[in-house]
Amino acid sequence: MSLSASWVKSEGHSTGGGAPRPRPERRNLGTIPRAGGQATIERMIAHLDLDAFFAAVELHRHPELRGKPLVVGGTPAGRGVVSTASYEARKYGIRSAMSSAEALRRCPHAVFVRPDHRTYREWSQRTWDVVRSMAPVVEQVGIDEGYLVLPEGDPGEQAALVQLAVRRRVRLSCSLGVASCKVVAKVASDMRKPGGLTVVVRGGEAEFLAPLEVRRLPGVGPKAERRLAAAGVATIGDLAGLDDGRLASLLPGRVGIELRARALGIDPRPVSGEPGEAISISNEETFEHDVSDRAELHAELRRMADGLAASLRRRGLVARTVTTKLRYPDFSIATRSQTLNIGIEDAETIGDLACRLLDRALGQRPDALRLVGVGVSGLERHKQLELPLPPAHSA
Ligand code: DCP
Ligand code: MG
């Protein structure tokens, strides 16, 4: 499992010569309500973006294409355009939105594959299910990108765990940027693609952004970039340093004021996913070799149940339905579900049910398995009541 080195500034790093800049004021970014309601805690957030997403999915479907320059898009014979290109193809200067004909000119031995959006949506959903199972608040903003409030603990380590989970459970590579606010996290996730993780410490936002080209700041489009370039504003730091008069002449109105604030690493937009908005949380594992040992399968399910229980507790949720999924070596899938009268959140009960459901399915078809998974659904807010486990009925 390879993780690229993090770019982590040490805490308390000085902001360079002269008087230290004032710390940006506290913001409500990455702020999630504490159980009970009133008090809030401030958390670091992450922006996650999958690497060469459509191409990465196609490489799973056509492993024989690995290592070759791959273009996903319309046909170069017609008026097709490039949706995305593998990193191998990007070495030839192939980019999203370029005509496929131009892509073929740049790399005559590139392989072209037509996009299959339905499949990409499925892979996207699998990815975001994994992220939602790990983070208390998740706001997906595109098919392959979104923001998450990081769980408690060291932000870089927590982000690395999310990255690892996406790689292991979905088998996709992603890059993450960790910061105190959305705009900085988004810029950071793009710093070390593919497979990168970049952490910007709180207080280091403006210094991190300053040397970067101004077009890398989200919100600066080609038109604004041209205007700024003509006035000698080349970097995000140049934009951050504009006085009110120059800013108003170059980028009049609220747009200018907002972009200058962003250039300073100030962005008040919250991560706006509601906790518990997910309708299900699941976890699954594809084995290196098919597994038939019942004890090993049970141990795997219990490990997943632990993770699901932790995720439910973190989000203040309980689940009423447990589902076990099995995939056989011939890729056929079986699922078994059980629904309870009240919600549960503890690892042991989820694990017990998951194992029982597995046994039931294996009773009908006792083969080795390629994959097992556990999901919980029927999610609802936890009620502060200790109730015994009710009699269960099957669904
Ligand atoms: N996409 C598209 N047309 C574009 C841009 C993107 O169809 N002009 C699709 C294909 C991409 C997906 O959206 O795979 C995600 O877009 P990204 O900009 O995140 O690009 P990639 O994920 O492909 O590459 P990167 O590693 O740079 O994120
Ligand atoms: Mg991407």
329 in the same domain as 295: yes
* Residues contacting 331, CB < 8 A, separation 6+: 370
Same domain, 91 and 149: no
Residue 48 sits in the same domain as residue 145: yes
- Structural domain ending residue among the three candidates 100, 117, 134: 117
Instruction: Classify residue 93: in a domain, yes or no.
Output: yes
Q: Using one digit for the tens of pLDDT, what is the confidence trace for 216-243?
A: 999 998 899 999 999 999 999 999 999 9
| Ligand 1 mutation target, pool 53, 72, 86, 190, most atoms within 8 A of CB | 53
Is the CB of residue 282 less than 8 Å from the CB of residue 374?
Answer: yes
When the pLDDT of each residue in the chain is averaged and rounded to a whole number, the result is 85
pLDDT at residue 383, as a whole number: 59
User: Helices 155-165 and 117-134, interaxial angle, to 10°?
Assistant: 140
Q: Is residue 25 part of a domain?
A: no
Mean local confidence (pLDDT), 339-364: 95
Q: Ligand 2: distance of its center to the CA of 212 in Å?
A: 20
Domain boundary among 180, 204, 228: 204
pLDDT for 237-250, tens place per residue? 999 999 999 999 99
pLDDT over 60 (residue 275):
no
pLDDT of the residue at 232: 97
What was the pLDDT predicted at 279?
67
Instruction: Write the DSSP assignment of 205-247 as a string of letters.
Output: HHHHHTTSBGGGSTT--HHHHHHHHHTT--BHHHHHT--HHHH
Identify the residue with better confidence: 340 or 26.
Answer: 340
Is 137 found in the same domain as 69? no
pLDDT class of 142 with cuts at 50, 70, 90: confident
Paired residues of 46 in beta bridges: 148, 178
Q: Is residue 234 part of a domain?
A: yes
CATH number at residue 108: 3.40.1170.60
Q: Is the pLDDT of residue 3 over 80?
A: no
Return the residue whose CA atom lies nearest to atom 3 of ligand 1: 83
Cα gap 49→47, rounded to integer Å? 7
Ligand 1 centroid–CA 56 distance in Å is 11
Helix (H, G, I), strand (E, B) or coil at 179: strand
- Among 71, 144, 197, 216, say which to mutate for ligand 1: greatest number of ligand atoms within 8 Å of CB: 144
Q: Are residues 238 and 169 in the same domain?
A: no
Atom of ligand 1 nearest to the CA of 73: 7
Note the pLDDT tens digit of each residue in 29-85.
334 343 333 333 468 999 999 999 999 999 999 999 999 999 999 999 988 889 999
Name the closest-CA residue to atom 26, ligand 1. 51
Give the count of beta carbons closer than 10 Å to the beta carbon of residue 122.
Answer: 12
103 pLDDT higher than 60: yes
- Single out the residue of 352, 350, 340, 353 nearest to residue 392, CA to CA: 340
Distance 142 CA to ligand 1 centre (A): 10
Mutational test site, ligand 1, from 83, 124, 172, max ligand atoms within 8 Å of CB: 83
Taking the centre of ligand 1 as the mean of its atom positions, its distance from the CA of residue 53, in whole angstroms, is 6
Is the model's pLDDT at 258 over the cut of 70?
Answer: yes
- For the beta sheet containing 369-381, the strands, ordered from the edge strand earlier in sequence to the opposite edge, are 280-291, 369-381, 317-327, 333-344, 393-394
Ligand 1 site, CB within 6 A: 49-54, 83-84, 96-97, 143-145, 193-194
Instruction: Report the CATH number that the domain containing residue 385 is assigned in CATH.
Output: 3.30.1490.100
Clarify whether residues 242 and 339 are in a common domain: no
Considering the domain architecture, whether residues 91 and 126 belong to the same structural domain is answered as no
Domain count, the chain: 4
358 close to 291: Cβ distance less than 8 angstroms: no
Peptide bond into 194 cis (omega under 30): yes
- Mean of pLDDT values over 184-199: 97
Residues 249, 355 within the same domain: no
pLDDT > 90? residue 284: no
How crowded is the C-beta side of 64, counted as CA atoms within 13 Å? 1
Show the domain range for 110: 54-117
CB 281 within 8 A of CB 375: yes
Residue 356 lies in a domain: yes
* Residue nearest atom 7 in ligand 1 by C-alpha distance: 83
What is each CA distance from 217 to 186, 188, 254, 339, in whole angstroms?
9, 10, 16, 48
**What value does the CA radius of gyration of the chain take, rounded to a whole number of Å?**
24
Distance CA(48)–CA(131), nearest Å, equals 9
| Residues tagged active-site | 145
φ, ψ for residue 158 (rounded to 5)? -65, -40
Please state the pTM of the whole predicted model: 0.66
Residue 143 belongs to some domain of the structure: yes
> Does residue 226 sit in the same domain as residue 186?
no
- Within this chain, do residues 73 and 192 fall inside the same structural domain, yes or no? no
User: Whose structure tokens read 């699901």?
Assistant: 308
Element (H, E) at 147: strand 145-149
Nearest to 46 by CA among 266, 199, 168, 206: 199
User: Residue 239 belongs to a domain with what CATH number?
Assistant: 1.10.150.20
